[in-house]
Amino acid sequence: MSEPKREHFPPTLNTWIGVQMGDGTMGRGAINRHVMEAYEEPLRIYFMGSSWRSLGEPHDIINGFLADRLDREEFFAKWQASGKRLRHWLINALHFYLKELWRREKRHDAARLDGAGDDNEERGIDDPGVLDCEVDRAWARALVAAACRDAQASCRADNLDEHWQLFMRHHLDGLPYRDCAAEFDVDPKRCAVMARTAANRFREALQQRLKQDGVGAEEIDEELMKLQEAIS
């Protein structure tokens, strides 16, 4: 049995999801796979740093959230009507889910019920503006990590492993080209060319990941700048 083809993403994620929603069970499965691949890690990172952390293990909480919300037929239709970026819609939905878990926990704890006050006060619910910044940072880190994996695999497939290693030593570890050249036993000029080759693979991988998130071609450069700001 052949492997399923990787879904082709049109110019906007909104359009692609709309098409998939009209394709029944198979379409919903494609949407769910994309959401879990692209957003599970950012949601988990956000949860681990939030005021809700004591509710449970991050992996279990986020898997429970995705299983619950992605199973709702109206979930993505409501997102489309909201005008929000999908990652902001998901984090907003996660907050509602976490409040549901907390209230369920309260019902099993009479002592907490006796002293209950306003929900926002008790849980210290995060400010929406801060919330968006935090999830953007988590999403950016996850996106860059995924693009690194893609670029490394691309280099490996073309026997450019040394190019990738050199790129990482210079751009990630901050090693000057002259020291990279000595470490890899290559000419310094050749060293710079090799690093640029791998850097181009990384940029291409990052652009492809952004397109999958619904970023149009005319928005790529702006989004790349936002990514740099988010992870700096």
Cβ-based neighbour number of residue 16 at 10 Å = 20
More confident residue, 33 or 134: 33
Cα–Cα distance, 91 to 33 (Å, whole number): 17
Q: Distances in Å between the alpha carbon of 172 and those of 50, 195, 207?
A: 28, 11, 19
Q: What are the structure tokens assigned to 34, written together? A: 């994309």
Please give the torsion angle defined by the CA atoms of residues 193, 198, 204 and 208, in that order, rounded to the nearest 10 degrees.
180
pLDDT of 29 above 50: yes
| Length, in residues, of the chain | 232
- What are the phi and psi torsion angles at 50 (to 5°)? -95, 175
Query: What pLDDT score was predicted for residue 181?
Result: 93
In 3-state terms, what secondary structure has residue 138?
helix
Q: Which of 2-6, 108-112, 153-157 has the lowest mean pLDDT?
A: 2-6
Looking at residue 156, what DSSP letter applies? H
Q: Distances in Å between the alpha carbon of 176 and those of 21, 181, 196?
A: 50, 9, 14
Largest CA distance in the chain: 73
Q: What average pLDDT does this structure show over 142-154?
A: 90
Looking at residue 125, what DSSP letter applies? P
Give yes or no for a contact between 93 and 47, defined as CB atoms under 8 angstroms apart.
no
pLDDT of 166 above 70: yes
pLDDT band at 128 (very low <50, low <70, confident <90, very high): low
Q: How far is CA 42 from its chain centroid?
A: 5
Q: Tell me the Cα Rg of the chain.
A: 22
Task: Give me the chain's average pLDDT, please.
Answer: 81
- 218 CB burial (10 A radius; 0-12, 13-18, 19+): exposed
pLDDT band at 214 (very low <50, low <70, confident <90, very high): low
